Structures are given as C-alpha cells and as structure tokens.
Amino acid sequence: MDIQFVEPDQAPQPREKVRIERFEVQPYPDGWRIKLNVDVTAFQERPNLELRVLRLPEEQPIAELSVIETMHRQMEFTVHVRGVPTPNGDYVAQAELYYEERTAPHDQREVPFSIST
C-alpha cells in the first residue's frame, strides 16, 4: 500500500520547474493599501521573490517587498501606497521569482490595475 502525503500534482519540484502560478492584486477600499496574493509551484529549494508596485505612466515605485527563501508556496502581503498625494491612478504590480541572482529572474508576472476612491 502506498501512502501519499501530498497530492501528485503538488509534489515538490526542482528549481527549473518552479513558477509563479498565481499573482493577484486587490486594492483596499481606502486606496492606500494593496493586497498582493502570490502562489508558487511546490518547491524542493526555497525561492526568493521580489514584489514591486509602480505608478504609471512614469513607473514611479510606490511599494517594494523582498521575500528571501520563502517556506510557503501560498503568500499574501499588504503594501502601502507611498510618495504620492493621492492613490488614484494607474499602476502595475510586478513579481519576480529567482534563486541566486535577482538580475536573472526564474519567472516573472505583471498585473496592471487602477485605484479610484
């Protein structure tokens, strides 16, 4: 008899198969906070993530977050809109998954969104 501790499609994968499976962005009703949901492939080696939110069209960074060697495959973060007089406007959220070198991301995603309060 085989005992399985995880679902077959959720078995930990080697780094070359690890990807960002879900990246969702949800502004809070107040406009000054943004919820970021990130799911990655189940992994054997813990990956790093770099999350950014940029205001468009000038691509002004308004929030940044680094996750070093995460232990979790499903993550949720709240970032704050900073450095602007009003949160209303167009944005893009970016997620990069990498191992040793951030300059060569293993996977990346972008989600455009708007805030209007």
The pLDDT tens digits for 19-29 are 999 999 999 99
Q: How far is CA 22 from the centre of its chain?
A: 8
**Percent of the chain residues topping a pLDDT of 90:** 85
Task: Please report the DSSP string for 27-58 in residue order.
Answer: E-TTSSEEEEEEEE--BSS--EEEEEEEETTT
Structural domains in the chain, sorted by start: 17-115 (2.60.40.10)
Integer Cα distance of 42 and 19 in angstroms: 9
User: What is the per-residue pLDDT for 59?
Assistant: 95
- Per residue in 52-74, pLDDT (tens digit) is 999 999 999 999 999 999 999 99
Backbone dihedral region of 89: left (phi > 0), alpha (psi from -120 to 50 degrees) or beta? left
Q: Does the model's pTM come out above 0.85?
A: yes
As a residue count, the chain comes to: 117
